[in-house]
């Protein structure tokens, strides 16, 4: 597979990193190895492959050449800044059939009954449900805390019973709160905790948590990394190759969370335009956020690129762009939100995010419906909150569509 110099930029890595350079047919676009199983030259080779004495492919739930392309490519993208600072710290990745498969498999490999996971409010609804239901049944305690200062993080760690992992999203879903990843990583790792960052909203183009001190990064590849809404997938990335390729790989193999080769191939095609798309997503979102900030039906706009956003300075320091996600609160609560979302025509009323088209949704009744209301409100997810994933349409048309909808309130 292709290895690019560290001096090359993100678009070059997104297009070339991980691409096979030994295809016998010399295909310009890497082929899809849509095969459940792989043959052996003889019994001896089969024995060696199963014993780990020879590298090769046995069964696609274990390894697949097409899946390995996106693992290599995303490892290159998440590791550019880290390897520029320390060339000996290589990043490696393991792909999964969904973002939740990646998150659950990683955390279930790191945690044991009796352990505590520290996190914050405002996480993706599925992640919150996982921690408060399945993890509780497994004897794993979740502690919610404010990650806004090293003193608070330190106190939370000291108060927890067998703290093992600190898990965060930055920007967080859906209110876009930010966490100082370098600060949290330094505080947590001083006590031996592993730091896991969900980097789905930012993507490795805008933020590289491993270079900021995180131990692991997770993505829902369903979102911006694919970019076209055609697949469901996830990935875990980090620098501990033994853990990822042995412990975590064993978990994926036995739980069956491996991605399909065709999904991996589609994700790879999306990755090739990731840098270009994130530039346009960010530019459009900033324009829309500034416009929403002037509209009387809008009570508040959450967007890292706005000067008055409370995490704006952290965003400028920690990120390379502000991303394509906006959250805004309407004066009329649920009723106003219902009018807006039932009126828009260009914007699609749909969950998920990060596709080329603009999508709009209501977190309280959709993505976070399974989160207890009190906990949801504490995280800033109000009844009138609307989440907007700003797409690549002409920005004037997005504003026109939203303007007509707001005018119906």
- Residues 127-152 have pLDDT tens digits of 999 999 999 999 999 999 999 999 99
Largest CA distance in the chain: 74
The pLDDT, as a whole number, for residue 141 is 96
User: Is 124 assigned a catalytic role?
Assistant: yes
In the residue annotation, 223 being an active-site residue is answered as yes
pLDDT surpassing 80 at residue 379? no
Beta bridge partners of 59: 37
The single residue of 73, 115, 124, 263 carrying the catalytic annotation is 124
The architecture in CATH of the region 275-406 reads Alpha-Beta Complex (3.90)
For the record, the structure tokens of 20 come out as: 């096979």
pLDDT tens profile 251-294: 999 999 999 999 999 999 999 999 999 999 999 999 999 999 99
Separation of alpha carbons 303 and 50, rounded Å: 51
**Domain residue spans of the chain:** 10-31+64-271, 275-406
pLDDT of residue 278: 98
Of 223, 252, 277, 300, which residue is the catalytic one? 223
362 confidence band (pLDDT: 50, 70, 90): confident
Residue of 367 and 94 predicted with greater confidence? 94
Catalytic residue among 48, 61, 253, 272: 61
Res. 173: pLDDT tops 80: yes
- In the predicted model, what is the mean pLDDT of the chain? 94
Confidence of residue 85 (pLDDT cuts 50, 70, 90): confident
> Which pLDDT band holds residue 163 (cuts at 50, 70, 90)?
very high
Specify whether 61 is catalytic. Answer: yes
**What is the distance between the alpha carbons of residues 267 and 228, in angstroms, rounded to a whole number?**
9
- Mean local confidence (pLDDT), 206-218: 97
195 has which bridge partners? 166
**Model confidence band, residue 7 (pLDDT cutoffs 50, 70, 90):** confident
Lowest mean pLDDT among 107-111, 167-171, 340-344: 340-344
The CATH number for 10-31+64-271, chosen from 3.40.640.10, 3.40.50.360, 1.10.3720.10, 3.40.50.970, is 3.40.640.10
Q: What is the pLDDT of residue 334?
A: 82
Q: What is the pLDDT of residue 351?
A: 87
Catalytic residue among 177, 180, 198, 263: 198
């Amino acid at each position: 597979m292709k290895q690019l110099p560290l001096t090359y930029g993100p678009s070059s890595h997104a297009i070339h990193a991980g691409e096979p350079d030994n295809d016998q047919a010399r295909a310009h676009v890497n082929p899809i190895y849509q095969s459940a199983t792989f043959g052996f030259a003889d019994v001896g080779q089969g024995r060696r492959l199963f014993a780990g004495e020879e590298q090769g492919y046995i069964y696609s739930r274990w390894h697949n050449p097409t899946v390995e392309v996106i693992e290599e490519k995303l490892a290159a993208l998440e590791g550019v800044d880290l390897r520029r600072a320390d060339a000996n710290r290589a990043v490696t990745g393991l792909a999964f059939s969904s973002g939740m498969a990646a998150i659950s498999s990683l955390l279930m490999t790191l945690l044991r009954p009796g352990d505590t996971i520290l996190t914050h409010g405002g996480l993706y609804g599925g992640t919150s449900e996982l921690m408060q239901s399945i993890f509780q049944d497994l004897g794993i305690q979740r502690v919610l805390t404010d990650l806004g200062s090293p003193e608070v993080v330190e106190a939370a760690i000291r108060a927890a019973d067998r703290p093992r992992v600190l898990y965060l999203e930055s920007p967080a879903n859906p209110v876009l709160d930010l966490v100082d990843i370098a600060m949290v990583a330094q505080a947590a790792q001083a006590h031996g905790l592993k730091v896991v960052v969900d980097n789905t909203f930012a993507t490795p183009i805008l933020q590289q948590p491993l270079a900021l001190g995180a131990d692991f990064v997770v993505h829902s590849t369903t979102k911006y990394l694919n970019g076209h809404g055609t697949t469901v997938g996830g990935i875990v990335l980090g620098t501990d190759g033994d853990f990822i390729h042995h412990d975590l790989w064993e978990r994926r193999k036995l739980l069956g969370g491996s991605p399909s080769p065709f999904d991996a191939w589609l994700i790879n095609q999306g990755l090739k335009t990731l840098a270009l798309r994130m530039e346009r997503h960010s530019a459009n979102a900033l324009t829309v956020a500034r416009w929403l900030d002037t509209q009387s039906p809008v009570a508040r706009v959450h967007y890292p690129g706005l000067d008055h956003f409370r995490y704006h300075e952290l965003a400028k320091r920690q990120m390379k762009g502000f991303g394509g996600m906006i959250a805004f609160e309407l004066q009329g609560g649920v009723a106003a939100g219902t009018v807006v979302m039932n009126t828009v025509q260009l914007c699609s009323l749909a969950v998920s995010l990060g596709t080329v088209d603009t999508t709009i949704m209501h977190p309280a009744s959709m993505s976070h419906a399974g989160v207890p209301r009190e906990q949801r409100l504490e995280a800033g997810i109000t009844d009138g909150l609307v989440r907007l994933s700003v797409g690549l349409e002409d920005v004037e048309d997005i504003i026109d569509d939203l303007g007509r909808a707001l005018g119906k309130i």
